[in-house]
Structure 1
């Protein structure tokens, strides 16, 4: 696997803090201990497409009014879903 930004092979798995806008656009939240990737060559930190989709789908399926300004990734993923799946993802 290589860095999505500089294509160097010097990447490692990390956990990091990200800031995510809620689907309704009312605010952003801090999500700690989020799985990520760090490139040792260019220094970029980012999330894989799978983690991005998982976050976006889960935020569409839960009651975001019950989330404070900050939440850990695992706590977020443990929030009960209101729907079984994201019906807006057509793939």
Structure 2
């Protein structure tokens, strides 16, 4: 695995707290224990595109009005979906 920013191989997987704006823009939530990458060479800490897409899709498909200000990544991904999948994603 390489760092997306500096391409160093000196990276490790971490779990971090991130803050995410809801798709409707009404508020942001804190998502704890979110999988991420930390690069020891350049110091960047970030989520992979796959994790970002998972969070964004889940937030589009669940009833976000029922979410509290804080939730873990695991609990967010376990929320019941209103739709089975994102029908607007064509790739």
Same fold (TM over 0.5): yes
- Give the structure 2 partner of residue 49 of structure 1: 49
SS in 2 for 1:7: coil
- When the two structures are superposed, what TM-score results if normalisation uses the length of structure 1? 0.97
Unaligned ranges ≥5, structure 1:
none
- SS of equivalent to 2:36: strand
Give the Cα separation in 2 of the matches to 1:23 and 1:88.
14
Partner of 1:73: 73
Q: Which runs of 5+ in 2 are unaligned?
A: none
Equivalence for 1:22: 22
**TM-score between the two structures when normalised by the length of structure 2:** 0.97
Instruction: Give the superposition deviation at 1:31.
Output: 0.2
Matched length:
91
Report the RMSD for the aligned CA atoms in angstroms: 0.7
